[in-house]
Each structure stands twice: as C-alpha cells, then as structure tokens.
Amino acid sequence: MSTRTLFIGMDGATFKILDDLTNTTEDKQPVMPFLSSIYEEGVRSKLLSTPNPLTPPAWVSLMTGRSPGNHGIFDFIRAEERGNDIFFTLYDSRDSKAETIWSIASRQGKRIAALNFPFTAPPQKDLNGFMVPGFIPWRHLRRNTTPSDFYDRLKVLPEFNPKELAWDFEKEKQAVSDLSDKDRENWVRYHLPRDRQWFRIAEYLLVEETPDLMAVMFDGVDKLQHQAWLFLDPSLQTGEVSEYHQRMRKLCMDYFRQLDGFIEKLINAAGPDVQVFMASDHGFTATYEIVRINAYLHKKGYLNWKLMPDTEEAARREESMFANLDWKNTTAYCRTPSSNGITIRVARNSSETGIKPEDYETFREQLIRDLEELRDPETEERIITGIFKREEIFPGPAMKDAPDLLLVLRDFGFVSIKDKEPIVEQRVEVAGTHHPDGVFFAYGPGIKQGEIIDRRNIADVGATLLYSLGLEVPSDFEGQVPESIFTEQHLAKNPVVIGAATTFQAKDEQPESMSEDEKDKLMAQLKMLGYME
C-alpha cells in the first residue's frame, strides 16, 4: 500500500509572493525550484477564503467542506454573553458543528494523518490514523495527540522538540504586534526550526505508516508574512535598501527555500502514485494603516470603555486580544481584532442592558450608516469599504454566533480594538495582512499539466481530498470537486460521486450552551430578519 493523497497546507500563502519565488530570470535561479516545477507540471488557481479570511473559519471550512455559518467557527476567541458580562474563551474542535474530512475518511476505512491543523483538538475519538493538532501549546500536545501512544513515539524521534514544534501563545501575539528590528529577526528565525519539526513528523509517518491521506500544514508562511511583508513583497524590493533589510530578505528566502525542500521531500517520500494538493487558507497583502474601530464606536456613542485600576493585572487585560468594555453602557462593539466584526448587544430580558429586540433592524441600519461615514479626511474615501450583514455572508444554523456585521477595510487590514487616538493612523511601515485570495495547487497522476483554472472556493479542497481518496463527496458539502483539474481519462475512470450526507452529531451540545433566553433572542432576531413568521 502507498499513500494515495498528500495535502500540504501553507497558511497564508499567496501568489504575490510564490510567483516571485518560483520565477527564473537570466540572472537568478528561483528560490523555490521544486514549486516552480509544479507550476509547470500541475494545475493551480486562486482559492477564495471565507468571508473573513482568517485561519480559524478558513481551515475549518477546508476541513469540513462547509461555510462558517454551517460549521460555526468564526474566530480564535469565542464569547458568551452572561447577563451584563461577557466571558471570552478559545474555540476548540467541539465547537465545530460539521464533520471533518478526517472523520469522513476514517469511518470509511481510510487511514489518515493530519498534522498541525487548527481546531483538531481535542481530537475526535473515531479517527483511524494519526493526528497532532496545531495551535496547541506544547504542554497539551500529549493529551491531544492521536493515537494516545503516538506522543511517546514522537519523543524518541531524533531532534523531536515539542517546545519548538508547538504553538506558544505568548510568542504568537507577536505576529500582529509592533516589534523591534531584533525581535522581528528572531521571529523569522523562530519559524525555521518549527516548520522543520512538523516536516520530520510528516516524513516519518509517510515512510513508517503510509496513511491513505497524509496532510500537514506549515503555518510559518503566515507568521513571516505578517511581520516581514516589507522584505517579501516584490514590489517593495526596489531602490537602495539597508543592511538589515538585506539580512531579513535573505532570512525570509532561507525560510521559503527550506519549505520548497520540504515539499519536494514529502512528495518523493509519498511515491510516484500520489496525488498532491496544496492550498492556503487565505492570501496576503500589505496593510498601511491602523483603524481603531472601538474608538470610533465610542466616539459615535455605541460603546463605553471599562474603567480599570492602575495595576499590572489591569494593564495586561487592556493589552489582551479581546474587548474590555463597560458592557452595561455598550450597544455595539468589536470583540477581537481578528473578527473584523461588530456585535450588537441585544437585551434578552428587561433586566439586561442592550438594545430591545424590536429595535434591532433600525439600530443596525443606523450603525451601518455610521460605519460608512468613517472616511479619509483628505480624500473622502471610505475606510470601511465592505459592511456585510451576517445573514448575507454567514447563513446557516451557526449564524447566531457570528458578528452582526462583518467589515472589510480598504487595505484589508484587521481592526484595532484599543482605546487610543487617532481613529485612523498610518503605519510607520507596511505590514502584512490577510487577503481573500489564497492559493490552490494540484499535481500528480490524473491531473492536468501547466494549467491555471478559475478561482475556486476553500470548501472545494475538502471535497477534492475525499474524491482523491476514492470516496463519495457528501451531499451536504458546499465544496465541489474542481473537475477541470483532472484529465478526461482520470474522470472517466473515476467519476465524481455525490453520496450520503455527513453524520455529524453535536455530542457535547448541552441545554446550557443555549439558554432559553438565548433561544428567545435568536427567534426574535430571525423574526425580525424575515426568516421566521
């Protein structure tokens, strides 16, 4: 038996960078020669991310073939309204309301291996294969690794280092922080060994276990691009640059050269019969300004800041990545920078603060008008170029957990939620931010060569991986197999079959997770929106 399907995820990879790094000119060889050969011998397309092009919703859409309104993962941080307080915690795999391709393949007898994918912890109990979750601190890897003895197998691998491998929450905050030159350089260096750790496990599993589906995700691409966009974007590599700039550029090239080597080695280890797919959860672009959205909502009278004592603990809370507000006197706010969304506080009963359910629609329309009025004082251009109601972009049973409005800034940046002026400020230098267009590659037997197809949707990747495994695509998948990437002979022999729906059941759903009050609130909103009589 050999591995049938290999999936390599590259968090945040974009053709803006990859096209440059795979390009051969008269005076330079490509930084990524192997990927360059896949450009020639495979098929590629842009890949449209989720409405908020963010790691949690996007990877879960890829893994479930469903949109966020159906799977229910919208952000890193989940909020629970508690009367006049809001409790923030982290999303985990149990919050997803859709079955993953790992589970679908497992229950049909396929052996899978999935490494470093977010929201795969805690692991499902019915997996047939191996899973080491991503975005989990090293201290919790053992508990969340499948099968239960696999962590001990990893510990004896040469150079295995869980601290190097796993997510470090304190360090990860640096991805979107202002760093000194030295810290930024260290940040890039930190990701070289980290990706190497994941590569070694993937290679080990390919050789020792030959799972039917081998999937590994390298998230260093995203982390580098956030902090080192200035040194990566080809349009910014003009004129004279500093020695530091040259050093950073070289370090970034070392990272991508290493990644290219990992791709080549994994494909070679998988053998000549493997079908290879590669994708990113979103693309990247440059952000040049900071937009302090909660400061704007405060100015417009929608929110009030929480008065905090002058203590170290209070300062830490203020610096955290979730909003700290006077909830009783707040009607609309942004919960986290990554959400790029506005949540409207609706009172569930007369003892709670927030707007009345019957005022929701009028309130939201006024809020939209106010957000539209945030403009560049010099050009009068709108700062927020897209404002989407949640029922437009997050339809589905999980819509109630989505922000009421999703914002798209003119430079695609993430909002700031800090209590700071001015509301819109130019960055000292450009940084990287997410863009809706990610990348998709297919390569191997049965796949066409050298073609570029129209942009596909991220949910299509999950469907494609199941198809490549020889499985039916569940009828409730929103993702579709991009048949145009396969040769006619391959499709004739292996037609795409739509099969039974997924079998997901929310095992952990308890009545308390949605109180009667919350149900009433949802019903009221649905009625208001015309979804229910």
Partner 1 sequence: MVVFTKEAIEKTLVEIVEDLIQDWGIDPDDGITGTTLLVNDLDFASVDIIQLCVAIEQHYDRKIGFQDLLMKDGSYVSDLSIAQMVDFLVDRI
Q: Rule CB under 8 A: which residues touch partner 1?
A: 80, 82, 84-85, 87, 89-90, 92, 94, 122, 137, 139-140, 142-143, 162, 169, 313, 317, 327, 507-510, 512-513
Other Cβ atoms within 10 Å of 377 Cβ, number: 8
CB 220 within 8 A of CB 173: no
380: left (phi over 0), alpha (psi -120 to 50) or beta: left
Q: State the Cα–Cα distance between residues 185 and 188, nearest whole angstrom.
A: 5
* Residue 110, C-beta contacts closer than 8 angstroms, at least 6 positions apart: 128, 129, 212, 213, 469, 471
User: CB of 95: closest distance to partner 1 in angstroms?
Assistant: 10
Q: Which is nearer to partner 1, 142 or 389 (CB)?
A: 142
User: CB of 61: closest distance to partner 1 in angstroms?
Assistant: 23
User: CB of 306: closest distance to partner 1 in angstroms?
Assistant: 8
Q: State the Cα–Cα distance between residues 251 and 530, nearest whole angstrom.
A: 54
In eight-state DSSP terms, residue 79 is E
Question: Coil, strand, or helix at residue 355?
Answer: strand
Q: Which is nearer to partner 1, 27 or 85 (CB)?
A: 85
Q: Which is nearer to partner 1, 143 or 493 (CB)?
A: 143
In eight-state DSSP terms, residue 234 is G
Q: Which is nearer to partner 1, 77 or 104 (CB)?
A: 77
Task: Write down the residue that tokens 């896949």 correspond to.
Answer: 38
Q: Which is nearer to partner 1, 31 or 131 (CB)?
A: 131
User: CB of 227: closest distance to partner 1 in angstroms?
Assistant: 22
Q: Which is nearer to partner 1, 380 or 512 (CB)?
A: 512
Q: Looking only at Cα atoms, what is the longest distance across the chain?
A: 73
Q: Which two tokens stand for residue 501?
A: 């729906």
User: CB of 113: closest distance to partner 1 in angstroms?
Assistant: 22
- Which burial class, exposed, middle or buried, applies to 518 when counting CB atoms under 10 A from its CB (0-12, 13-18, 19+)? middle
User: CB of 169: closest distance to partner 1 in angstroms?
Assistant: 5
Q: Which is nearer to partner 1, 89 or 494 (CB)?
A: 89
User: CB of 122: closest distance to partner 1 in angstroms?
Assistant: 6
Cα Rg for the chain, rounded, in angstroms?
23
